[in-house]
Amino acid sequence: ILITDSLTPNGHKKGIANGEEVFLKNGVFIRKKDGVIAGSSLTMAQGLKNLITYGLNPKDAFLCACENPAKLVNAPEGIFKKGKKISFNIFDKNFNLVN
């Protein structure tokens, strides 16, 4: 199962996370008040791309990001089956998220 501890201001250089000011440094958010790491800026899309880059086949990587977490928390709406409504993201051939 693919997870991330990405914080709310992801996509920005600074912001508020868990009620504290944070800023982005070297791919992680740092608390302004004491310089302690508050969380990452890793998105699910980048995590998926990382799994594939590290050698996991794309089918299994997508299962790690989508269906496996849905099964873990017993969320049938997250499982892709004929006749079900779904939401989805589109990726290019290099597994970059297309906006």
Distances (CA, A) of 7 to 11, 17, 33, 63: 9, 6, 17, 23
Q: What does the alpha-carbon distance between residue 13 and residue 28 come to, in Å, rounded to a whole number?
A: 10
Q: How confident is the model at residue 34 (pLDDT cuts 50, 70, 90)?
A: very high
| Statement: the pTM of the whole predicted model exceeds 0.95 | no
Average pLDDT over residues 70-79: 79
Phi, psi of 68 (to 5 degrees): -60, -45
Q: Which residue has tokens 């794309």?
A: 58
% of residues, the chain, pLDDT over 90:
55
Average pLDDT over residues 29-40: 96
